Amino acid sequence: MGKFRITRLAQELLRRKVVRVAIGYGIVVWLILQIAEVTFEPLHLPGWSLTLLVVAAIVGFPVALVLAWAFEVTPEGLIRDPQDTLPTDPIKTNKSGTHRSVAVLPFADMSPTKDQGYFCEGIAEEILSSLSTVKCLHVPSRTSSFRFNAGDEDIRAVGKALDVEAVLEGSVRKDGDRLRITAQLIDVQTGYHLWASAFDRDMSDVFQVQRELSQGIVRELCESLSPDEVAIREPASVADIHSYDYYLQGRHYLNRFTSEGTEFAIQMFSEAVGLDPDFSLAWAGIAEAHTYSYLYYEGSAEHRKKAWEAAHKAADLAPDAASSKTVLGMAFMIEGRYAEADMEFRSALAMNPIQFSASYYYARSCQAQGRLEQAAELFERASRRRPEDFQAPLLAMSIYRHLGKDGKARDAALRGTEAAELHLLLHPDDSRALYLASLGLLELGQKEKAKSWIERAIRLDPTDGLTRYNAACFYAQAGDNDLAYTNLHKANRTGRAFTDWLDNDPDLDPLRIDQRFETLRQNVQCQPVVPSK
C-alpha cells in the first residue's frame, strides 16, 4: 500500500472516530481492571473471574472498533455512517469503462506578494490541457472548471456540477526563481484524497513538474489501461523561462475576451517570442489574438496579415500541436479558404477533442459554406465545452429556426440569452453579447427587450460593421426589412467571405425575395474578408 493510501486510511479512521474509540476503550478497560484487581478478592469471587474479564476486554476491542467504523453516535442514538452506502473506492471500481473523469481547478496563489494569479491559472491550464489529450480521461474545459476556486468550494458540489469522479486542486508558491507546487486529487463522492504530491523546484523545472503531475493523475485514474491509452503529450518547450511567464500573462489577458485584454495579450505574447523566437505556443497566441481583433474589434488587413504570419510560424515550429492546427484553421478561415480551414480544425479536434476554439470556428466555417446541420452540431459541441459561452448556442439557434426545429431553437435561445445576461453583468458594454442575444430574446417572444438591446448595441458601436450586419439580421427577423437594409448597407463589408454569409446566413432569409438583396449582393467586391457573424 502506497504512502498516500496509508494517509487516506488514517484520515478515514480519524473522521469515523475509530482512533478516539480505541483510546477511550483502552482507558476504560484499564480502569475496570484496576478496580477488579482491588475488589474481586474481598468479594470472594472465583480466581478465574479476573482472567475472564481480561479475555472479554480483549475480545471486545475489535468489536468496538468495527462498531465505531460502521456507526456514528448521535443524540438519536447509533446510526449507520452515511458514507458506507457508497462504493469504497468509486474511481477504482469502474474499471470496465474506457473513460475516467477529472476536473482541474485553478491553483491557489500562495506567493508572498499574492500577485501570481495568472501564473497559477497557467500552471493549472497546462495540466488540464495535457490531461485532455489522454484517451481514457474526460476533462471539463477550462472555463467550466475555473468557475470554482481551490480551497473555497465543497468538492462534492463541484463534482456534481461538473459531472466528474475526481477533482484536482493545488497551490503554487512562487518566490523569485523558486517554486513550490502542491496538488491533491480528491474523490468527489467520499471527499478524501486519492493521490497527492508536492514539488520544490527551480522555475526552469516547471515543465517537468507539470508532466510529473499529469503522469501521477493518469496513473491513479487509469492504471488498468495500456501505455498507449494513457500517454500524455510532452510539455511545452521554451528556451527562456521568463518567456513562459510572459506567455501565461498573455493567456490570462486573452481569456478576458475584451478588446483591451486582447491588445495586452498581443503585447505579452510578443514579449515571449522576443525572448524565445522558437516558442510555438506564444506564436499561436499571437495568431489567436490578432484573429480575435480582426473578427470582433477591428477588421483591418493588418490584423489579418499578422494572424496569418503568426499561425504559419506556430505551425512551422510545432506542426503536430493542436494549438497550431487551430490557429492555422482560423487563418485560413478569415482568408475564405474553407476547405483548408476545415482540414486544420478536424486535425485539431482529433488531437484535443475538448478544445472550444476548434469546434466553434469549425462551426462558423461550415455555416459560411451553407453546411448548416454540421455547423449546428459543432456549435453544440463548442457549447458543451464552454457552457457559459453565449455565442455558440445563439448561432445554433438561428440554424435550428431555419431548419424548422422550433424546440431546439427555443432551447438554444434560452441557454444563449441566459449566458449573455450573466456575461453582461460583468461586461455591460459588450456589444456582441447585446446584438446576438437580441435575436435570442426575439425568438423567445420578448420583443421590446430585444429591440432595446439591439439599439443599445448600435449606440455602443455605430460605425462597427459587425454590429451593423447583426442589426440587419435582427431587423430582418423582426419584420422590418427597411431597417434591415439600412444596417446592411452600413455594414460596409465586402469580399467572398461576406457573400458566403449573405448566401447562407439563415437570419437573412426574409430579405431574399426582395430585389434589393440581389442588387446589394452583386455590388459586393470579391476580396478576402472576415465572416460576418
Contact by Cβ (8 Å): 195, 216: yes
Quick one: pLDDT at residue 531?
52
∠ Cα 289 290 292 (to 5°): 65
**C-alpha grid cell, residue 377:** 452540431
Q: Which residues pair with 193 in a beta bridge?
A: 186
Contact by Cβ (8 Å): 11, 19: no
Helix pair angle (447-460, 465-478), 10° resolution: 160
Query: Cα(462)–Cα(434) distance, rounded to whole angstroms?
Result: 13
Quick one: pLDDT at residue 351?
85
**What's the sign of the alpha-carbon dihedral 159, 207, 170, 246?**
negative
Quick one: pLDDT at residue 231?
54
Q: What pTM was computed for the model? A: 0.63
Contact by Cβ (8 Å): 241, 202: no
Strand 100-104 to 137-138 pairing = parallel
The set of residues, in sequence order, having a beta carbon less than 8 Å from that of 281 and lying 6+ positions away, is 236, 247, 314, 318, 321, 323
Conformation bin of residue 492: beta by default, left when phi > 0, alpha when psi is -120 to 50: left
pLDDT of the chain, 533 residues: tens digit per residue: 344 344 445 545 554 566 667 777 777 777 787 777 777 777 767 777 777 777 777 777 777 766 665 554 443 344 444 334 322 333 333 433 444 788 888 888 887 777 777 777 777 777 787 777 776 777 887 767 777 776 666 788 888 888 888 888 888 887 777 888 888 888 888 887 888 888 787 777 777 777 777 777 777 777 654 555 555 555 555 667 788 888 888 888 887 767 788 899 999 999 999 999 999 989 999 999 999 888 777 767 899 999 999 999 999 999 988 889 999 999 999 888 999 999 999 999 988 887 888 999 999 999 888 899 999 999 999 998 888 889 999 999 999 999 999 999 999 999 999 999 988 887 888 888 999 999 999 999 999 999 999 999 999 888 877 888 899 999 999 999 999 999 988 876 655 556 667 787 888 889 988 888 888 877 765 444 445 56
Contact by Cβ (8 Å): 435, 467: yes
Query: Cα(195)–Cα(183) distance, rounded to whole angstroms?
Result: 8
Domains of the chain by residue range: 3-85, 90-234, 236-299
Cell 482529433, residue? 350
Quick one: pLDDT at residue 533?
64
Longest dimension (CA), the chain: 119
- CATH number for the domain whose boundaries are 90-234: 3.40.50.10070
Contact by Cβ (8 Å): 100, 88: no
Quick one: pLDDT at residue 366?
93
